[in-house]
């Protein structure tokens, strides 16, 4: 009889412990705009590694595969399943208001990251919405500065056809994306400012900006078409890409034509953004001139800290060294130029 009573007691205790554990568990759902994005893949891997060390947190990642409709459905499902925190790498930045409404209706905090949403969107759910990302324009300025530094170090070398001008092609992403817009606009603007200050002409735009959507294969296809015209190829001295994946697609295309390999007379400056591991290797081999490093590890660490604070009932940056912008709850992760040196 005592054995039966003891067994029943142990069973009841186990059920209670499981129930308490489940009740105390903090559920975090992380929504990724596209798993195939190399930089975001790095952030995701690092965040997952760090979250494994956080007590009482149950996390789940979701791949929207580039579809805002899919992401909206995933968010709805997570809310229905009882999530405690939404962490969103949004597909379409213009859809932030819709996603925030979902969080607000469910009285849930939400952290956006990487893909910039508007200040107005963050302020619309003040105290329960935050953004972690980079300055959307900074990478553009730094990429332009890097381009000018390389060109001015040996102008004659990079003016390949000796026409006295540096011709460029731009590989860009979404028209509604602040990062893409900042990188596209300010890379050329900053390069032109530094070149003209050195008594050199501004860059010459050779073709319309190529809309490659952050993707390597798309960039290669588009650039293949651009350099099929030998008269255009002869004038290309520098290629700007909004990210490394697109820059790597350009390099694949150039190598078919014998460029950016061992022949020092057939070198075109190719610049990206992110300084991914693959891009760093291309830079080491001399195929790519440089990149602007976006610190994925630092972004993942900030996300982990925000998650822990929300779990513990604190403000996003409470008790940390992080500081929001003075006018809106946005945290900036700094960029850095990367040339492998």
Asked if residue 154 and residue 237 are part of one domain, the reply reads yes
For range 65-94, the mean pLDDT? 97
Is residue 182 situated within a structural domain?
Answer: yes
Asked whether residue 4 is domain-assigned, the answer is: no
- What percent of the chain has a predicted confidence (pLDDT) above 90? 91
Q: What is the pLDDT of residue 8?
A: 41
Same domain, 113 and 187: no
Region 257-276: what's the mean pLDDT?
95
Q: Say whether both 186 and 106 belong to one domain.
A: no
5 within some domain: no
**Neighbour count for residue 57 (Cβ, 10 Å):** 18
Residue 340 lies in a domain: no
Q: Are residues 186 and 243 in the same domain?
A: yes
Domain count, the chain: 2
* Domain identity same for 211 and 241: yes
- Within this chain, do residues 166 and 258 fall inside the same structural domain, yes or no? yes
* pLDDT reading at 4 higher than 50: no
Whether 43 shows a pLDDT value over 60: the answer reads: yes
pLDDT surpasses 90 at 73: yes
Same domain (yes/no): 122, 220: no
Residue 129 lies in a domain: yes
Whether this prediction's pTM lies above 0.85 is answered by no
The tokens describing 67, both together, are 């579809």
Give the rounded percent of residues in the chain with a pLDDT score beyond 70: 93
Q: Which residues contact 41 (CB under 8 A, 6 or more apart)?
A: 35
**Residue 17 above 50 pLDDT?**
no
In a domain, 316, yes or no: yes
Residue 24: its pLDDT value, please?
Answer: 77
Q: Do 201 and 190 have their domain in common?
A: yes
Task: Give the domain range for residue 55.
Answer: 25-133+296-335
162/286 same-domain check: yes
Q: Mind listing the pLDDT tens digit for each residue in 187-209?
A: 999 999 999 999 999 999 999 99
DSSP states of 227-281 as a string? HTSHHHHTTEEEEEESSHHHHHHHHHHHHHTT-SSS-TTS--EEEEEE--HHHHH
Q: What is the CATH number of the domain that holds 62?
A: 3.40.50.2300
In a domain, 68, yes or no: yes
Same domain, 104 and 206: no
Q: What is the pLDDT of residue 23?
A: 57
Do 242 and 154 lie in one domain? The reply is yes
d(CA 160, CA 117): 41
pLDDT at 20 over 50: no
Residues 36 and 155 in one domain: no
In a domain, 13, yes or no: no
134 in Cβ contact with 294 (< 8 Å): yes
Average pLDDT of the residues of the chain:
93
């Amino acid at each position: 009889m005592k054995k039966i009573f003891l067994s029943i007691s142990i069973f009841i205790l186990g059920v209670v412990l499981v129930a308490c554990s489940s009740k105390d568990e903090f559920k975090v759902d992380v929504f990724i705009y596209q798993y195939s994005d190399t930089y975001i893949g790095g952030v995701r891997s690092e965040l997952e590694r760090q979250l494994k060390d956080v007590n009482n947190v149950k996390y789940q990642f979701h791949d929207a595969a580039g579809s805002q409709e899919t992401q909206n459905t995933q968010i709805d499902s997570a809310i229905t399943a009882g999530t405690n925190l939404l962490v969103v790498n949004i597909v379409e930045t213009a859809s932030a208001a819709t996603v925030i409404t979902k969080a607000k209706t469910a009285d849930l905090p939400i952290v956006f990251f990487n893909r910039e949403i508007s200040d107005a969107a963050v302020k619309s759910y003040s105290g329960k919405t935050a953004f972690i990302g980079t300055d959307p324009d900074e990478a553009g300025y730094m990429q332009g500065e890097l381009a000018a530094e390389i060109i001015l170090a040996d102008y004659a070398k990079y003016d390949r056809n000796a026409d006295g001008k540096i011709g460029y092609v731009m590989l860009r992403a979404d028209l509604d994306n602040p990062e893409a817009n900042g990188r596209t606009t300010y890379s050329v603007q900053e390069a032109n400012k530094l070149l003209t200050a050195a008594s050199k002409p501004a860059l010459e735009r050779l073709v319309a900006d190529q809309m490659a959507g952050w993707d390597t294969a798309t960039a290669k296809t588009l650039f293949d078409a651009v350099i099929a015209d030998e008269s255009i190829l002869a004038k290309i001295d520098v290629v700007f890409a909004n990210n490394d994946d697109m820059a790597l697609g350009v390099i694949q295309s150039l190598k078919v034509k014998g460029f950016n390999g061992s022949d020092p007379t057939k070198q075109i400056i190719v610049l990206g953004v992110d300084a991914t591991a693959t891009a760093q290797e291309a830079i080491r081999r001399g195929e790519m001139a440089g990149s602007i490093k976006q610190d994925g590890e630092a972004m993942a660490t900030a996300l982990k800290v925000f998650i822990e604070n929300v779990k513990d009932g604190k403000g996003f940056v409470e008790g940390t060294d992080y500081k929001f912008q003075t006018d809106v709850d946005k945290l900036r992760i700094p960029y850095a130029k990367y040339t492998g040196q």
